[in-house]
Every structure is written in C-alpha cells, then in structure tokens.
Amino acid sequence: MDNYDENKEKRMISDSGYEVCQAFRIGGKEILLGERRNDDGKMNYIVCDYREQGIFTEYSNGLGDDDYLEAVQEFTGRISGEAERIKSDCEARGLPRDIFTAEHCDRNDYAQSIEGKVVAIKAGVFSPEYQSGDNQLVYVVRGNGAIANPRGNAVFCYHLNTGEHTRFERYDIQGVVRKLPEWAKESLARIQAEMDKPVDANEYAGKYEIVERMEVGQKVFALGHCEKAAQPYGTWQGHKTSKNSFDMGHYFNDYQAAKTDLHDRAAKEQERIDRPKRREEGAR
C-alpha cells in the first residue's frame, strides 16, 4: 500500500479535486482512497477503482463519504473482496501453483519459432497475486514475436488454466516447457480441438470477444478478438449509454495493428473534444 507524504508530488483522481492518499494494486487494477477539503474546511473522501488502458485511464465505481472511517472500511473492503475473489478462482481451478523456473524449460532461443509450443511466462511478469505455475503456462498460436528471428515482440497465446486468449512479449517468456503436467496436457488438447473445428464464416461473424476498451467523452472504443474469424482482430466505436452496442468496425489480421487503430480512434475523438476549447482559449 502506498502512503503519500508532503514531499511527494500530489497524485490527483482525474480532475475531481481529490488527492490520492492511499492506493493498492490488486486484480489488474488499483483501488484508490482520495481526500478533498471543502470550502467550509471539512474533509470529504472518495474510494474508486483505477485502470490504465493504453494511453488512456479509467476511474470507476466511485463512492464518496464525509466519514473517514467509513471510507477506509470501503477501501479495505474492496481490497479484501478482490483478494477473496482471486483466491476463490484459484481454489475452484484446483491446479498446482508451483512456479516454473529456467530449469523446467528450454531457453528462450530467438533463432527458433515458438508457434504451436507451450511456454512458461516468467513469474515476475505477473503481479504477486497471480504469480503461480498454472498462470505461467500458455499455448502460443501466432505473433510477430513468436516466429524465428522475430521482427517484433508480440506473442499471442492461450492460458492453459483458463483458456483465455492473451498477449505477452517475447522477452516475457522463460522458455519452452520440457515436461507438461497432466492437467496442462488435457487443457492443451481441448484448446487444440476447439481450434481445429471447421470454420463457418457466417457462424463467427460478429462473435468477437471484447478484450480492451477506452472511454473518451461519451464514446466508447473497443478492441475485439475472434480466433476463427477471417480477420481475428477488430475495433469498433459505441456510446456510453448503449452498453456493448458497437458499430463502424475496422478489421485486422494483426493485434498490434488493431491496438494502434484503437488508440488512433480514441485520440481523434479526444482531439475533436478539445478543439472547441482551444479555439475558445485562443479567442481570449
């Protein structure tokens, strides 16, 4: 948990006027406790969640309170809730948590392709609550960083413990795992069987899983993935008032190209929002 003293640069919660006084990172986000002194001299507090989405940031689930102890209870309660959720997920999977180290792997040889291989991600890449052997094992399917003598670092893969599609960098990889545990062999077989099913283009049209979102003003921009689609990555735009309703799709074969497009679309919307403000300031 971070403590913020007077010698540190103030960290603010967006433009709300609340200064962060405590922060705790868990479950892929930060839980923040902020404070603000009102004009009457009284203190107000807020607890919210914070995520970074590329070059954009998102604050959500804000809850204000004028009672410090109640705010602290909300803050610590959220941390405890996230810890319980992660612990429950791990127990439900019931998989070994022993860490895979260099001695369990062939070295990450950049002269060799790792496509179609099961590799172990370095444990230190994960935040502490996710540092376990079952989280390390992934099945590599593609990416500029997965080929021999790679032109980039992007490695697209599936977590063997959950089946979720994800991305790491080539330098995140410990190496190709020499001996898979039985649970990993079974999971790998299921993933490969699913990938080998005949593809019906009409069946998979529009069935993209949203893996990244960015909110700018009243608009929401999303990046989705569908392994069996002809172009497995896409970006769309929507509106905050219409949850999970997107249109104006752009489609790509490469994740990095899709992510660049996502950031470009969001940046253009931010530029559109800021333009009248700059004109107004210039007229003063």
Condensed to tens digits (0 to 9), the pLDDT of residues 253-268 reads 888 888 888 988 888 8
56 vs 23, 51, 53, 60, 278, CA distance in Å?
19, 9, 5, 13, 20
CATH class for the region spanning 102-196: mainly beta
Overall average pLDDT of the 74-102 stretch: 95
Give 235: exposed, middle or buried? Use CB within 10 Å, 0-12, 13-18, 19+.
Answer: buried
Rounded-to-integer distance, Cα 29 and Cα 41, Å: 32
What is the C-alpha to C-alpha distance for residues 271 and 123, in angstroms, rounded to an integer?
39
Q: Residue 244 — very low, low, confident or very high, per pLDDT cuts 50/70/90?
A: low
CA gyration radius, the chain: 22
Least confident of 87-91, 106-110, 241-245: 241-245
Q: What is the pLDDT of residue 4?
A: 47
Closest CA to 174 of 135, 126, 140, 136: 136
Return the pLDDT at 117.
96
Q: What is the pTM of this model?
A: 0.68
Per-residue pLDDT band at 119 (split at 50, 70, 90): very high
So where are the chain's domains? 2-93, 102-196, 201-283
pLDDT at 1 over 60: no
Per-residue pLDDT of 163-206, as tens digits, reads 988 889 999 999 999 999 999 999 999 999 887 776 554 555 56
